[in-house]
Structure 1
Amino acid sequence: MKRRSLALMATTALALSACAPVLQETPLGAGVAPPTEWRTSLEVTAPIESDWWDAFSDPQLSRLVEQARLNNSDVQVAAARVEEARATERGSRGFLLPSLGAGVEGGVRREVSPFGQAQTTVAAQPAFRASYELDLFGKNAARVDAAEAGVAASAAGAEAARLSVSAATASGYITLLALDKRLSVLEETLVARQEAVKFARNRAEVGYTSQLPLRQAEAEYQATAQLVPQLKAQIARQENALSVLTGELPGAIERGGTLADLRQPPAPAALPSDLLRQRPDVAAAEYRIAAADAQMRMARADFMPSIDLGAAAGVVLSDLLADPVGIWSLGGSILAPIFQGGKLQAQLDGATAQRDQAAWAYRSAVLNAFREVEDRMAVLANLKEQETALEAQQVAVADALRHARNRYRAGYTPYIEQVDAQRALLGVELSLVQVRADELTALVGLYQAVGGAPE
């Protein structure tokens, strides 16, 4: 009889499940086929190491990056999200297991017996109760799948946070060294312009020239001098930003060397097909699709009947009984939705829309990933040519300044020609510093764009 009842319940549930809707497929246009090759090819490449920041050969840069990966607030928040997702996943597994509880019911009753006498009865009934939801249509299994995908997405997000913080710290340190170099260029320029002021003053004092060259020399000196405090303020702000990135209060940053001491490592080697596996943000987007798919299956399972099994066992203790009496019960129930006012369909439609959102977000993440790599490669391919042109310009401008200075001192040309050459040389030297820093930060950006070497 028991077997017949269970078989009848299962047959009824399967018959009612035929009314459940069919799940929609993922949008076809959301997929992305990687290109066979990059638009821009770089001459020298090398495999990506897990600690790629060590390739710049600056121990202080490496120390700052590793400190940021451990202590940065964004990294810690991402790690906490992973723990939250793991807790949710552990909780979801509980739906696959029976639930067991224990309790005691008891009381004291005073009443009149059939013989007309007052009678007080003390009774107690300890019992164990168990219940189990038969996951015939996979709702609870889908719940676990969604939670597992959530854990994977959170872990990929945490890796993306570490990669982003690593790149920001490395780029910030390179920028700091570039600011140091710009300050050094300005200080060297000030020394040269102080000499020019001294020379112009001597000529003016003996009456060889008018006050105009002296005033021009003094103006150029002050024009350069006023840039120094601006640059020092930028250096302080950059140090503060780096300190906060590493999880510390704003403060000074120790240098491991100069901008010229930084090694320029080869560009990371990565095939377009590898990008989808290496980028943690792309992986996170893919796991979110899996989680949304599982949520859709859960929403569809709500159209199915639910089957609950229950059992209880215990004893009855009473002063009316000479000995305890054992009791037990075993049963089940089946409940199928018939009319819910469109609520279940709306829930399924919402879950489907969320899955589609996740699919299109994945496409966006993939397209942006390819764009970022192409952008970094294009920058690197052209910066070297720009640096070569600037170096040639620096030689020409320095030679022009030498001629202008000699002609001015010989009295052949006015001082303004020397001023123009000085301005041009300072501009070229500062541009060279910026281009060299841009090359290094572009390399950092490329390491980030290809996904680094995810853990």
Structure 2
Amino acid sequence: MAAALLLQACSTAPTTAPMLAAEVPSAWQGRPVADALPRRPLDTGWWRTFGDPALDRLVERALAHNADLRGAAARVAEARALGDVQRAAALPTLDLGIGESRSRSVSAATGKPYLQTVTQPQFQAAYEVDLWGRLDALNQAAVAQLQASEAARDSAALSVAATVASGYISLRALDARLEVARQTLQARASALDLARSRQSRGYTSALETQQSEAEYRATAAVIPQLQLAIRRQEHALGVLSGAAPGPIERGLPLTELQLAPLPDTGLPSDLLRRRPDIAGAEAQVAATDAQLAAARAQLLPSLRLSATLGSISSSALTGDPFRLWSIGGSILAPLFEGGRLRALVGASDARREQALAGYEKTVLTAFGEVEDQLAAIDEFARQSVEVEAQRAALQETLRVAGNRYREGYASYLDELDAQRNLFAAQQTALQLRADELTARVNLDRALGGGWQADAGAGAATATAAATAGVNPRASTR
């Protein structure tokens, strides 16, 4: 169900795809390490690749209950209703009216007063002939606005899923860092006991004991900081999943979350069909195109047809009611509006320029996000090798320094430095692991999370790449 929420796409295509002024890259930049990693197809349930059922449940709960997504769904319903309103404007209207009056008059023949009741039911029909396509353009604008709201909903769902996944990874990283801090605190408590014992027997001075206690206290101070960060992360995840702040279910530890194969990146031009925010930006361009056409059509005459069918009956008359009917038409041409209509055209034109600029920015930002995450995955993989080697070397350094200190061949400062360096390296290694996992989340998000525009949709395609460099401002003028 959660994956289906991310797969929803625009049901109808904008009429024209905007052209990019910037050149679409023919390929992603080469990343030696990332390029060598295995690949998998894009999937709307991409968060399942981490292999943690607790994460799966958390994401699915957020997609079902997140307040922002409920608001986005309501905006889609609003846009759909407004589209129905606009479609109805192009249809004939039919109204029923019934009028009745009662009067007291004096008969000219008899001079006597009498009461008269007059009843007049009638049907009225009206229809605006769409000579210049104004109503059709407004209908197209409403359809495009619906597409934009649907794309915004899908983009919000993708954002919520990615934010929850990265937040869960951060939570498990904090859990792992807290566990390392507690283990380090136990080791430093043992070192403090040893320092006190050696001082009591006269083997060392009070200086080493004070240094050991200071290091113990410094490590102890880290634990409340991490616990507070964990609480805050849990609260943030609770809000995202539509629940009151509280504990979050844990699954696999950080080190057991899978570094799954990378999603297939395809070509940069493929991205134009894979991201809902790009589809939404394109729909906005289509909407402003249609609104501009409607504004221009307002400068031209309009033709309205009307018809009336009814009857009139009076209590003072005998026989059947009189039948009444009329049919006619009117042409209304704007002669002088004080420049209002042309100003509306200018405003519509400016909104189209804004939509075009927004579309281009969205596309270029999407390219940059994919490149950023590919670069991050590449560099994190390199860094991971070095950090792991450093951690192993510092682990051995601490072992040797501890043995030399206990045997009296080295000062406590050597062991103290080794403890500090190892603790820092362990924290760095855990954070790097979290960064590697988060980069994979962000790459799936940057690639659209498996979202696809409907077959035949007018989301920007390779056509946009082929026409790169063409002035988009000349495409519909």
Is TM > 0.5 for Structure 1 vs Structure 2? yes
Conserved 8 A contact 2:17-2:282 = no
The residue number in structure 1 matching 2:295 is 299
**From 52, 65, 74, the counterpart of 1:80:** 74
Size of the aligned set, in residue pairs, is: 430
| CA displacement at 1:116 relative to structure 2 | 6.1
Conserved 8 A contact 2:18-2:285 = no
Is there any run of 5+ residues in structure 1 with no aligned partner, and where?
1-24
Paired amino acid for 1:294:
A
Secondary structure (helix, strand or coil) at the match of 1:247 reads coil
Structure 2 counterparts to residues 93-242 of structure 1, below 5 A: 93-115=87-109, 117=111, 118-242=113-237
Separation in 1, partners of 2:53, 2:106: 92
Separation in 2, partners of 1:33, 1:109: 80
**From 9, 21, 39, the counterpart of 1:45:** 39
Secondary structure (helix, strand or coil) at the match of 2:132 reads coil
Q: Which has the larger radius of gyration?
A: 1
The residue number in structure 1 matching 2:49 is 55
The residue number in structure 1 matching 2:276 is 280
Conserved 8 A contact 1:61-1:170 = yes
Separation in 2, partners of 1:138, 1:424: 74
**From 383, 393, 398, the counterpart of 1:396:** 393
Separation in 2, partners of 1:392, 1:93: 67
1:151-210 Cα distance to aligned partner (Å, 9 max, x none): 100000000000000000000000000001001111111111111111111111111111
**From 232, 244, 251, the counterpart of 2:246:** 251
| CA displacement at 1:260 relative to structure 2 | 1.4
| CA displacement at 1:252 relative to structure 2 | 0.2
| CA displacement at 1:32 relative to structure 2 | 3.8
Separation in 1, partners of 2:114, 2:402: 125
Query: Does 2:22 match 1:36?
Result: no
Separation in 2, partners of 1:112, 1:33: 88
Secondary structure (helix, strand or coil) at the match of 1:106 reads strand
Q: Quick one: percent identity of the two aligned structures? A: 47
Paired amino acid for 2:210:
R
The residue number in structure 2 matching 1:318 is 314
Separation in 2, partners of 1:40, 1:372: 15
Conserved 8 A contact 1:391-1:432 = yes
Separation in 2, partners of 1:258, 1:396: 24
The residue number in structure 1 matching 2:469 is none
Paired amino acid for 1:74:
D
Separation in 1, partners of 2:54, 2:21: 42
Conserved 8 A contact 1:26-1:359 = no
The residue number in structure 1 matching 2:463 is none
The residue number in structure 1 matching 2:411 is 414
| CA displacement at 1:50 relative to structure 2 | 1.5
Paired amino acid for 1:217:
S
Q: Which moved more, 1:254-263 or 1:419-428?
A: 254-263
Separation in 1, partners of 2:407, 2:251: 45
| CA displacement at 1:27 relative to structure 2 | 9.2
Separation in 2, partners of 1:124, 1:198: 107
Ranked by relative contact order (alpha carbons within 8 Å, sequence separation 6 or more), the top structure is: 2
Conserved 8 A contact 1:307-1:334 = yes
Paired amino acid for 1:38:
W
| CA displacement at 1:111 relative to structure 2 | 2.8
Q: In angstroms, what is the RMSD of aligned CA positions?
A: 1.5
Separation in 2, partners of 1:227, 1:260: 21
**TM-score (norm. length: structure 2):** 0.88
**From 361, 368, 372, the counterpart of 1:375:** 372
Separation in 1, partners of 2:210, 2:161: 49
Paired amino acid for 1:369:
A
Conserved 8 A contact 1:40-1:374 = no
Separation in 1, partners of 2:61, 2:84: 31
Separation in 2, partners of 1:110, 1:69: 70
Conserved 8 A contact 1:40-1:377 = no
1:93-129 Cα distance to aligned partner (Å, 9 max, x none): 1111100000112212233444362343221111111
Separation in 2, partners of 1:323, 1:391: 102
| CA displacement at 1:354 relative to structure 2 | 0.1
Separation in 1, partners of 2:437, 2:231: 21
Secondary structure (helix, strand or coil) at the match of 1:226 reads helix
Secondary structure (helix, strand or coil) at the match of 2:323 reads strand
Query: Does 2:359 match 1:357?
Result: no
Query: Does 2:437 match 1:440?
Result: yes
